[in-house]
Amino acid sequence: MKPVDVKTTVTTTPTTVSAKASVSFPLFGYVLKRILIFLPTLFVISLVTFILIAAAPGDPAESMLNRSAGEGQASDKLAGDQAYRELRTKLGLDLPVFYFSLGSAASCDTINRIAKSDHRETLERMTYRYGNWPQISSYYYAVNDMELASLQIKKDSANAVPLSKLREITALFYLQDKENDIQGLLGEYTKSMGHPSLASLQAPFQKVQTAFAAVKSNTTVYKRFIPALHWNGQQNQYHRWLFGRAAWLGTEEDPNKAKGFIRGDFGISFFAKRPVSSMIWDSIGITMLISVLVILLEYLLAIPLGVNSAIRKGSKFDSTVTTVLFMLYSLPSFWIGTLAIFFLCGGDYLNIFPPYWMSDVTWDDGFLLKLGDLAYHLILPLLVATYGGFAFLTRQMRGSMVNVLRQDYIRTAFSKGLDDKTVFWSHAFRNSLLPIITIFASVFPALISGAIILEFLFTIPGLGQVTYAAVLQKDYPVILTNTMFAAILTLVGYLVADILYAVVDPRISYTSAKK
Amino acid sequence: MKGLRKILIVAIALLAVTSCGKKKSKNEVRIHALSDTDMLNPTNYQSAEAQYYIGQMFQSLWSVNPHNLQLEPIIAKALPEEVYDSSKGLLTYTFEIREEAKWDNGTPITPDDIAFTFKMYKAPVLNNEQNRPYFELVDDIITYPDNARKMTIVCNKKYILAKSTAGGIFVMPRYIYDPKHLMDKISLRDINTKFKEVEQNADMKAFAAEYNSEKFQREKGFIVGSGPYEFEEWVTGQRVVLKKKKNWWGEKYANETLFMAGPDKLIYTVVKDQTAALTALKGEKLDVMNGIKSKDFIEQLKTSDKVKEKFNLETPSSMAYTYFGMNLRNPKFEDVRVRRALSHLVDVEKIIHVIGYDLGKRVNGPVNPYKKGAFNDTITSYDFSVDKAKKLLADAGWKDSDGNGTIDKMVNGQKVEFNITFTYNAGNDSRRDAALIFKEAARQAGINVDVVPQEWSIYIQNQKKHNFEMFYGSWIGGTTPDDPKQIWHTESINGGSNYVYFGNQESDKLIDAIRGELREDVRNDLYRKLQVLIHNEAPYIFIWSPLERIAISKRFTGVQTSIVRPGFYENEFKMAQ
């Protein structure tokens, strides 16, 4: 739960010190402007996330079908391939990623339609070698037909050996991109075709031969040096995710069509197969509750402690606090969490807290009971989530306060004869808050990432667990929605921090400077 | 201040109440689950958890008894009559539904319900892609006007798994899942022959939108089967609770294993973190935990008198085995003598003892010893012997010609040093440790082994693309007859799981014969031959079959372990007096 991205210096040049910060109407314009800037920022974030996800290794459709590789029965190859193709189409994975793709003139613009990832790779290599995607693509479909033909032949004891051999060779066509290797396969194929029951393979085989000859004779290798931009139109994954496929006007007849992110339809999870919005709705409450409590606790404890140890800088109190805080800060929370569960949750030692989220109390059972139950389950996770950030914040608060106390105006205040309390809390404190506010901006996203460990450890059914599972399973719609959500939170965090600057520091103002 | 103190006192009192209020006197079983289920729809589900929970609420036509591994009838009155018509190539299963078999609303289970269920497994637009391919072989349903409970399932090929697949469906009540009768006009035959047309059918689309929705995944009243337990509650990420039905039709068969339903409630409780789960177990907040890490099982549970007083610690065999796979098309492993030599270099006993805490059995091939007829007990595993390995390697032409300590050989005019890159999935430390034991022994024979971790998806992808030299893998078998095609047939080299390029005409022929052989004794002979063949070719170095590690509370009696996952059968549990 440690804030990661911390900017400790705020560069504002104090020019004219206006008497009061104006946090009234003009601020509204500023906020509006900032919110308008959010939109392109979010667009870029969604795009980057989308491209990163698409580029990551692994194929969600494949892992969905082989749910536990090797378990149980070997499914029929044809049926399996068909289910795989349909699933890819259903999930939209057969579409290009974005409106346009950059590449060379030789590159293949329809490659995403090829179902298997290893086939795609072979074809990409082949296109690089020969530079003529149209020919290569028809060669590929010829091999497809040949495979289909060989799978349709009924195997009996007479043709079993050559047929198996042929099927094996056919499969190898999908992996070879070099001329010699393919010629070798063609040669081997001819050798095994002798059996009369395999006559139906003659025609498709010939088609493969001619298609490959066409690939060889029409090489346009030079094309791979010409950059090109392929326009994919609206039929792309990003468009579909953003805008959906359902009709915009009138009623959509097919209830299975999605509406798209922009219309508040976050899609269907690949794995849970339920709307992402309802998955998030189920899990966000507890995560937000913990996050808000953690932030509150951290700040409420860290600010007074930091200020006090800055005031008593060098005292025994200060050095004790410093030592303890450094120790706390350096203890990883997953380790402390594990230790806490081991010693405090009713194993071999004390039985004070629950080892996992075992609540079966609902709000209907009574408000107080539910509250007590929540507290019972939350105390340990909160402690584990808070101490690290608390230690860090206290150090920041102390450091910034110490800096302020060195300033001339503090000395002036003392020499005016003001008492300690007024100087520390009215003059120094407010000015020392800026770095803490900066940290606040990054607290939200840090909490969401921290929630993953915390929720795993204590089996808290929150957003962190949903995100973690989605990443492991390559559940694109869930990952995307959660990333967008974290991005919005981060942006809001920065906005809130900027507004707080103005509240705290009179020198910072967002009104257009009229002097 | 006073108010605050009051609240504190109330909170502490509540803490005390909630933490020690529950006395474990109820006839409920709390079973640990490592992860949550994805849904509870009987044909759209994907996770193993889902299959397990659905199996408690829904029933099959016939299924495997977890103790003797024999098929036994459930909804069917008796096991079906199996007929193969060789002229048409059709395999049929004819049976009658039990007279008493009823849905919760009192209406009988009919052949229409069963036909509807098959449609759910096979229809387009539904989210059933991961289960659909298995049912490719179910071609048609025949009903009989003169007998409303009799029916025939027609399969389009002679296949050893046809019987268990056709009978293993979770039979669904049509009145719950299709109250609007949208699927009535779409027959199983239509789906099989006019798939693309059905896909565009308006009724089909409307039905799919309902059937794929959250309602049929997780809502009470929409997950209804004929099994002994009904759906009570699913708190996402926390638990699934199933409650025993009152006046359930199967009660009169309660002494048959597959009809047993001892506990009043089954509570499948998700605890993600292993330490937390173990702590919860010790504190008796969980009654059953399986898949406990060997280290924890031995060091934390077996040694604790407190634990042994409250729990039975069980270690039944499992259907899984682990192996080192070699790439047979890599010039280093092409020669069978080299593969045998490497087999002699793996000290399996040491791996089981040191890394597996002796919680495992050595395996000599892909068939589990539990499958008695099929298992070939005459095969002796390759013994650990560096000398034998050295001799075999020398015979194959691998010698240390340059005196650098590593053996080498001229391959295609180039000198190749015997270095092996050995991959395993990152994070699996016991696999890494086993590989290191192998590395040490290989060093004595002049072979360098480089042990490399790979992230799971990359590790799997590399196997599919045959992009490896040696890797540590594992397989889990089922209770149905093994179909060796997926792993051992040459047609499975691409698109299947024959990562190591195993196979020749003889093995392919054996596998094809096994798949179509419905007579068990003849099939068993073929299995035994195939095992000898695999043993001699040594494409895998077979390591061990781990034992399950299970703790079951002594609150229950009647506990029998089983080789079938998860290793116990909670329906048999009875409260101890």
Classify each residue of A107-134 as buried b or exposed e, where b means 16 or more C-beta atoms within 10 Å of its C-beta.
Answer: bbbebbbbbbebbbbbbbebbebbbbbe
Per-residue model confidence (pLDDT) at position A514: 46
Nearest to B321 by CA among B376, B368, B355: B368
- pLDDT-wise least confident of A87-101, B45-59, B555-569: A87-101
* pLDDT beyond 90 at A422: no
Per-residue model confidence (pLDDT) at position A152: 80
Q: Which of residues 48-87 of B touch A (CB under 8 A)?
A: 48
Report for A31-45, A305-319, B382-396, B466-480: range of highest mean pLDDT: B382-396
Confidence of residue A262 (pLDDT cuts 50, 70, 90): confident
* pLDDT beyond 50 at A14: no
d(CA B190, CA B383): 57
Q: A146: helix, coil or strand?
A: helix
Start-to-end CA distance of chain B, whole Å, equals 51
Q: Which residues pair with B233 in a beta bridge?
A: B241
The complex's ipTM?
Answer: 0.81
Helix (H) or strand (E) holding B477: none
HSE of A236 in the Cβ direction (CA atoms, 13 Å)?
A: 19
Flag if B493 and A171 touch (Cβ within 8 Å): yes
* pLDDT beyond 90 at A118: no
B229 phi and psi, to 5 degrees? -115, 150
d(CA B439, CA A265): 53
* Residue B261 Cα, gap to closest chain A Cα (Å): 24
Instruction: Sort out which chain B residues have CB atoms less than 8 A from A456's CB and list them.
Output: 272-273
Per-residue model confidence (pLDDT) at position A391: 93
Q: B36: helix, coil or strand?
A: coil
Instruction: Sort out which chain A residues have CB atoms less than 8 A from B132's CB and list them.
Output: 79, 83
* pLDDT beyond 80 at B433: yes
Stretch A110-136: mean pLDDT: 82
- pLDDT-wise least confident of A365-369, A374-378, A509-513, B202-206: A509-513
What are the CA-CA distances from residue A118 to residues A111, A240, B458, B491 (Å)?
12, 25, 13, 17
d(CA B216, CA B233): 13
A418 phi and psi, to 5 degrees? -70, 150
Flag if B282 and A272 touch (Cβ within 8 Å): no
Stretch B37-55: mean pLDDT: 93
Q: Which residues pair with B540 in a beta bridge?
A: B325
Flag if A461 and B130 touch (Cβ within 8 Å): no
A439 versus B140: the higher-pLDDT residue is B140
Instruction: Sort out which chain A residues have CB atoms less than 8 A from B491's CB and list them.
Output: 77, 164, 167-168, 171
CB of B475 within 8 Å of a chain A CB? The answer is yes
- pLDDT-wise least confident of A242-246, B138-142, B451-455: A242-246
d(CA B13, CA B16): 5
DSSP B174-193: HHHH-TT-TTTTS-HHHHHH
DSSP B329-383: TSTTT-SHHHHHHHHHT--HHHIIIIISTT-EEE-SSSS-TTSTTT--TTPPPPP
Flag if B285 and A457 touch (Cβ within 8 Å): no
DSSP B80: P
What is the SS3 string spanning B134-160? HHCCEEEEEEECCEEEEEEEEECCCCC
Per-residue model confidence (pLDDT) at position B199: 92
* pLDDT beyond 80 at A325: yes
Flag if A86 and B129 touch (Cβ within 8 Å): yes
* Residue B360 Cα, gap to closest chain A Cα (Å): 20
- Which of the residues A63, A73, A271 would you substitute to probe the B interface, choosing the one with the greatest number of B C-beta atoms within 10 Å? A73
Q: B244: helix, coil or strand?
A: strand
- Which of the residues A273, A278, A380 would you substitute to probe the B interface, choosing the one with the greatest number of B C-beta atoms within 10 Å? A273
CB of A118 within 8 Å of a chain B CB? The answer is yes
Confidence of residue B389 (pLDDT cuts 50, 70, 90): very high
Flag if B15 and A375 touch (Cβ within 8 Å): yes
Flag if B238 and A461 touch (Cβ within 8 Å): yes
* pLDDT beyond 50 at B21: no
* pLDDT beyond 70 at A2: no
Reported as a single tens digit per residue, the pLDDT across A489-509 is 888 888 888 888 888 777 777
Is residue A497 within 8 A of residue A445, CB to CB? The reply is: no
Instruction: Sort out which chain B residues have CB atoms less than 8 A from A282's CB and list them.
Output: 236
d(CA A294, CA A390): 9
* Residue A274 Cα, gap to closest chain B Cα (Å): 6
Point out the residue among A77, A253, A348 whose CB comes nearest to the CB of B282: A348
Instruction: Sort out which chain A residues have CB atoms less than 8 A from B20's CB and list them.
Output: 351
Reported as a single tens digit per residue, the pLDDT across A138-160 is 899 899 888 888 888 877 777 87
Flag if B280 and A81 touch (Cβ within 8 Å): no
Instruction: Count how many pairs of residues, chain A against chain B, have C-beta atoms within 8 Å.
Output: 235
* Residue B378 Cα, gap to closest chain A Cα (Å): 26
Amino acid at residue number A511:
T
Confidence of residue A22 (pLDDT cuts 50, 70, 90): very low
* pLDDT beyond 60 at A432: yes
d(CA A155, CA A198): 10
A282 versus A14: the higher-pLDDT residue is A282
Stretch B271-287: mean pLDDT: 91
* Residue B125 Cα, gap to closest chain A Cα (Å): 9
Instruction: Sort out which chain B residues have CB atoms less than 8 A from A362's CB and list them.
Output: none
Reported as a single tens digit per residue, the pLDDT across A445-479 is 777 778 888 999 999 989 988 998 898 888 889 99
Confidence of residue A77 (pLDDT cuts 50, 70, 90): low
Point out the residue among A78, A351, A474 whose CB comes nearest to the CB of B283: A351
Looking only at the bridges linking them, the beta strands covering B419-425 and B574-575 are unpaired
Q: Which of residues 355-394 of B touch A (CB under 8 A)?
A: none
Point out the residue among A69, A282, A359 whose CB comes nearest to the CB of B236: A282
Per-residue model confidence (pLDDT) at position B15: 54
Reported as a single tens digit per residue, the pLDDT across B400-426 is 998 899 999 998 889 999 999 999 999
Per-residue model confidence (pLDDT) at position B473: 94
Per-residue model confidence (pLDDT) at position B442: 95
CB of B17 within 8 Å of a chain A CB? The answer is yes
Q: Which of residues 44-83 of A touch B (CB under 8 A)?
A: 57-58, 63-65, 67-83
Instruction: Sort out which chain B residues have CB atoms less than 8 A from A174's CB and list them.
Output: 494
Point out the residue among A70, A161, A254 whose CB comes nearest to the CB of B505: A161
Q: Count of residues for chain B?
A: 577
Stretch B431-444: mean pLDDT: 95
Rounded percentage of chain A residues whose pLDDT exceeds 90: 17
A415 phi and psi, to 5 degrees? -70, -20
Confidence of residue A305 (pLDDT cuts 50, 70, 90): very high
**Tokens standing for B110?**
């009919």
Reported as a single tens digit per residue, the pLDDT across B354-383 is 999 999 999 999 999 888 889 999 999 999
Stretch B309-324: mean pLDDT: 94
Flag if B279 and A345 touch (Cβ within 8 Å): yes
CB of A87 within 8 Å of a chain B CB? The answer is yes
Which residue shows structure tokens 């289970």?
B109
Stretch B121-128: mean pLDDT: 93
DSSP B243: E
Average model confidence (pLDDT) across chain B: 91
Q: What is the dihedral of CA B281, B282, B284, B286, to 10 degrees?
A: 0
Q: What is the dihedral of CA B424, B427, B433, B434, to 10 degrees?
A: -40
Stretch B421-434: mean pLDDT: 94
CB of A171 within 8 Å of a chain B CB? The answer is yes
Helix/strand/coil percent split, chain A, to 5: 65, 5, 30
Taking the mean position of all CA atoms in its chain, how far away is CA B245? 28
d(CA A488, CA A491): 5
Flag if A67 and B48 touch (Cβ within 8 Å): yes
Which residue shows structure tokens 């061990």?
B544
Rounded percentage of chain B residues whose pLDDT exceeds 90: 77
What are the CA-CA distances from residue A6 to residues A3, A9, A436, A439, A453 (Å)?
7, 9, 9, 6, 21
Point out the residue among A63, A70, A164 whose CB comes nearest to the CB of B475: A70
Reported as a single tens digit per residue, the pLDDT across B300-314 is 999 999 999 999 999
Stretch B54-74: mean pLDDT: 94
* Residue B468 Cα, gap to closest chain A Cα (Å): 15
Point out the residue among B279, B496, B508 whose CB comes nearest to the CB of A74: B496
Q: Which residues pair with B362 in a beta bridge?
A: B544
Q: A104: helix, coil or strand?
A: strand
Nearest to B551 by CA among B274, B289, B304, B281: B289
Per-residue model confidence (pLDDT) at position A8: 40
Instruction: Sort out which chain A residues have CB atoms less than 8 A from B304's CB and list them.
Output: 348
Stretch A398-405: mean pLDDT: 91
Q: Determine the residue of chain A that is closest to B271 in CA distance.
A: A459
